[in-house]
Structure 1
Amino acid sequence: MQEIPLWYVAILFAMLGACVGSFYNVIVYRMPRGISLVNPPSFCPHCKKRIPIWYNLPVVGWLLLRGKSACCHKPISIRYPIGEALCGLLGVFALFLANFPSSWTGPVTHWADSFALFWLLLGIYPVAAVDFEFKLIPDSISIGGIGVGLALSFFPGGITPLESLLGALFAGGGLYLIGYLASKILKRDAMGLGDVKLVAGFGALMGVGHAFASLVLASFLGILIMVPYRMIKKEESKEIPFGPFLAVAAPIVYRFGDKFLSFYFGLFGLVE
C-alpha cells in the first residue's frame, strides 16, 4: 500500500468522497423526517417515483438531467451536486493534509491519518446541515465515528485499539457527566446526547486528550461566531447547535492537536 502514489489515491478519494457526499445528501433529507436510510430506495422528492441507479451517479446524474427529475421534470435542488462535489474536494484535501509535505508523485505513507481526516472533514457537511436546522446529529456520523475509530486503530501509525476504546468511553462519558452536572445547575438541558456521541466518536479516532481539545476549540469557535451574530441579528435563541462547531474543530485538532494543546496550556503557564 505504501508504494501507491499520492496523485492516484487522490483520484480515488475524490470519487469516494463524492459517493459519500451522495449518501450524506440522503441523511440530510431523510434523517430529520424519520425516513429509513435504506428503505425505500432513492426516490424523487416530488412524485416519489424510484430513481434509476444511473441517474444517481454523484454530480454526473444531476448534469445529465440538467437539474430536473427524469420522472416529473421538476427542478432538483442544486445543493445535491454541490454537496457531492464539496465532499469530493474534501476527500482530496484530507489526503493532502494527512500526507503533507509529500509530493503528489510520492507514495502515501499515512493511511490511518488519511482515512481519519477523510471521515472527520466529510462529516462536517451532514452534522452542520442537520444540526443547524433540526438540532439533531445523525447517529450514522456520531456512532459511526466510534466504529471507524476502532477500525482505524488497527492500521499502522494510528492510536492503539485500547486507546481508541478508552478514548470513546472517557470522552463520551466525561462530556455526558459535564452536561448532566450543568443541567442540574442551570435547571435545563445543557448538552444533547448527539454531542456526547459525536465526542465519543472523536475519542475513538484520536484519543481522549485530543477529543477534549476539540471540545475546547469548538467552544472558542462558538463564542467567536455566535456572539457577533447575535449582536448583528439582535435576537436571542434558547438553543445554540454545538455540533457544527465540534465537527469543524475535530479535523483541526486531529492534524494540529499537539500544537494546539501546547498553545492552550501555555496560556496558563503549564508548559514552557
Structure 2
Amino acid sequence: MEIFPLWYGLTVFFVIGACVGSFYNVVVYRMPRGISLINPPSHCPLCKKRIPLYLNLPIVGWLLLRGKSACCKQPISPIYPIGEALCGLLGALALFSTNYSVGMTGNVADWASALAMFWLLLGIYPVCVVDFKYKLIPDTISVGGIVAGLLISLFPGGVTPLESLIGAVGAGGGLYLLGKGATKVLKKEAMGFGDVKLLAGYGAFMGFTGAVEVLVVAAVLGIVVMVPWGRLHKGKDDGSGQIPFGPFLAVAAPAMYLWGADLLALYVKVFIAE
C-alpha cells in the first residue's frame, strides 16, 4: 500500500531541500569570512537590520520582496533564490533517484538510502561554490558528513556502523597519507586537508570500498577537466588554471552511491573477467 503519492513526496523533499539551501547560502557567505553561522541571526548585509522570519522564507521571500531588501530597498542578489531552488531540486531528485520505494513500502533501509542521497546531492552546492572561490571546504559538509554517515549507518540495510567507521578512518587516513607522499615528491602541497575530511565523510556513507571508487572517479573527472583547462590558462600566474579537487569528489559521490556497484561489476566484466 502506498504511504503517500509521488507528487507529495517530491514536494516535501523540494521544500526541505530549499530550506537546507537557505542555510547553505549562509554557509557559503559566512564560512570563508570566519563569521559564525548562528550569531548574528539573518540580517541585511547593507544596513545590518534583522530580517523577519516571514521575509526569510526560501525563494518565496525573495519573490515577495521583488528582489529588493525590505529595509533599505537595495537589490538582493538572485544567487540566493537560485541556490535555494537548486537545492530544492536536488532534494526532490534524492527521493526520485531511490526509485521512490520509500513511498511504496516505508522500508527503513529505503528511507536511509533517500536520506543519504539527500545529503550527498545537496552537498554539491556549498562544496563547489566555496572550494572554487576560496579553495576551502566547509566543515559543515565534510565533518558533518562523517557524523551524518555514521548516524545513517545505524539504520539496517546499508553499510553497518563498523563498515561506516572503517570507511571514514580508512578513506580519510589513506588520502591523507597519499597527499603527504605526493607533497614530498612534487615539492608542493598536493592535497588539502579539506579534501581528506570530505572523503572521510563519503567513507562513512559508503564504506571504504565505496570511498575508493569515489576517489578514482573524481580523479578521472579531474584529469578530463583539468588538463584542457590548464592548457587554456597556460602561462597565467593568477591561479586561474588551477581547479580544486573537492568539487570532483562532491559530484562523484552521489553517482557512485547510486551506481558504484554496477559500474564496478561492468569494469570487472570488461577488463578483468575472461
Normalising TM by the smaller chain, what interval? over 0.9
Deviates more, 1:194-203 or 1:223-232: 223-232
Deviates more, 1:232-241 or 1:72-81: 232-241
Find the counterpart in structure 1 of residue 172 from structure 2: 172
Q: How far apart, CA to CA, are the structure 1 residues paired with 2:103 and 2:114?
A: 16
Q: Would the alpha carbon gap of residues 240 and 264 (structure 1) be closer, same or farther in structure 2, given more than 3 Å must change?
A: farther
TM-score by length of 1: 0.93
**Equivalent residue letter for 2:152:** L
Q: Is 1:260 aligned with 2:263?
A: yes
Q: How far apart, CA to CA, are the structure 2 residues paired with 1:242 and 1:4?
A: 40
Contact 2:9 2:103 in 1 (8 A): no
Residue 11 (structure 1) shift: 1.7
Q: Is 1:111 aligned with 2:111?
A: yes
Contact 2:230 2:242 in 1 (8 A): no
Contact 1:7 1:105 in 2 (8 A): no
**Equivalent residue letter for 2:41:** P
Q: How far apart, CA to CA, are the structure 1 residues paired with 2:25 and 2:272?
A: 44
Q: Is 1:270 aligned with 2:242?
A: no
Q: How far apart, CA to CA, are the structure 2 residues paired with 1:234 and 1:24?
A: 34
Q: Mapping of 1:224-235 within 5 angstroms?
A: 224-235=224-235
Deviates more, 1:258-267 or 1:198-207: 258-267
Find the counterpart in structure 2 of residue 162 from structure 1: 162
Contact 1:167 1:204 in 2 (8 A): yes
Residue 232 (structure 1) shift: 3.3
Q: How far apart, CA to CA, are the structure 1 residues paired with 2:114 and 2:23?
A: 20
Q: How far apart, CA to CA, are the structure 2 residues paired with 1:43 and 1:265?
A: 54
Q: Mapping of 1:5-44 within 5 angstroms?
A: 5-44=5-44
Contact 1:99 1:114 in 2 (8 A): no
1:25-74: CA deviation from partner (whole Å, max 9, x where unpaired) = 00000000110000000111111211111111000000000000111110
Residue 225 (structure 1) shift: 1.5
Contact 2:69 2:76 in 1 (8 A): yes
Q: Is 1:250 aligned with 2:248?
A: no
Residue 98 (structure 1) shift: 1.3
Q: Would the alpha carbon gap of residues 233 and 18 (structure 1) be closer, same or farther in structure 2, given more than 3 Å must change?
A: same
Contact 1:210 1:254 in 2 (8 A): yes
Identity %: 63
1:216-262: CA deviation from partner (whole Å, max 9, x where unpaired) = 11111111112222333445547430000100000000000012223
Residue 106 (structure 1) shift: 3.7
Q: How far apart, CA to CA, are the structure 1 residues paired with 2:235 and 2:12?
A: 45
Q: Is 1:210 aligned with 2:205?
A: no
TM-score by length of 2: 0.92
Q: How far apart, CA to CA, are the structure 2 residues paired with 1:4 and 1:107?
A: 10
Count of aligned pairs between the two proteins: 269
Once superposed, which parts of structure 1, at least 4 consecutive aligned residues long, lie more than 6 Å away? none
Residue 198 (structure 1) shift: 0.2
Q: Mapping of 1:80-95 within 5 angstroms?
A: 80-95=80-95
**Equivalent residue letter for 2:196:** V
Contact 1:5 1:108 in 2 (8 A): no
Contact 1:6 1:107 in 2 (8 A): no
Find the counterpart in structure 2 of residue 129 from structure 1: 129
